[in-house]
Amino acid sequence: MVNDRHADVDRWLIDSATEELSRDPRDLGVLYERAGAYINVGELENAIDDLNTAVQLIDAEQDQEPKALFLTLRAETQEPLGNREEAVKDYTEIIGLGDHETSVFFRRAYCYRELGAYQDALNDLDVYIQKEPSDTIALFNRGLVHLALDETTEAFEDFDEVVRRDAKFDGAIRNRGVCQYWRGAYSAAIKDLEETITTHPDDHIALYFRGVSYSQIGEYQRAVDDFTDVIKLGHSSYKLLIERSGVFRSLGETSKSLADIEAAVGLDPGDAVGYVARAEIYLDLGDIHKAMEDFSQGILLDPEDRYAYIFRAGIYFDLGMF
């Protein structure tokens, strides 16, 4: 009922502002008010139209003083529409105007991260954190960006600091564990991931990385159990099937290993890794002809795979094909 009353108020504001703008379409205050009301009722495209009109009026009058206010609201409206490149342009212009809140760097960093421009995101987060060092959310986000850039030591440091500040910060202990895995600290990774799984048993990312950590220390059955749980949770993938196939092979369960690799190749028949892995299983089974076919297909897809060449050369030798 309260939300309905708020919506009614916003509708009244839109109608009232529309009437005023029919008399004076250059009234920036009314345009801003109507844009805000449009945002409140979910009509984001209409809000963008009003904000575009306002920015054009400001540019025409060469009065930059109110521009940052309109650009900020437009950028924040572009984000939920998925127009992050446009949002970045607005945030960049706001920064160029000079009079802005520090949070603009955080918002632009978020857009850059969503666009995959991780170095740009990192630069903005560095600026923001230097000015707002107590912002734990920004620190967590910088850890994510470092991780995306494969800067695992820096990512670990950020996540470790987040955990030190707030051990219950969602995702911090898990991500610290992921960093530990990439740094080769498998036992430490398992400890962090175990803690995450205890409180969030459906966290498929934690289960996956605990699985690969178990695999690295030879705990193959535990790795299989974790990978299987990930699949049960509905997160099967090419990479996961490749991993579980390899662990089954280490356990000597060749038929299960072959079944997983067959499923993986079916998911991504254009990737060389699946064919090379299946060729190795065929060698285990003594089927050198199928192995040679798969090594050849792997080489066709990835001519740089020296490993596949070496194995295929060995088969040629065994067959007397010198």
- Amino acid present at 9: V
Percent helix, strand, coil in the chain, to 5, is 80, 0, 20
Whether the predicted pLDDT of 256 surpasses 80: yes
pLDDT in tens, 137-167: 999 999 999 999 999 999 999 999 999 999 9
Which domains are present in the chain? 1-97 (1.25.40.10), 236-322 (1.25.40.10)
What is the radius of gyration, based on Cα positions, of the chain? 28
Mean pLDDT of 42-61: 93
The predicted-structure confidence for 279-318, as pLDDT tens digits, reads as follows: 999 999 999 999 999 999 999 999 999 988 988 888 887 7
Does 2 score more than 50 pLDDT? no
Tell me if 178 sits within 8 A of 209, measured CB to CB: yes
Does residue 3 carry a pLDDT above 60? Answer: no
Report the distance separating Cα 22 and Cα 266, nearest Å: 61
pLDDT at 1 over 50: no
**Per-residue pLDDT at 322:** 58
What are the pLDDT digits (tens) for 176-209? 999 999 999 999 999 999 999 999 999 999 999 9
**5 or 253, which is more confident:** 253
pLDDT value of position 217:
98
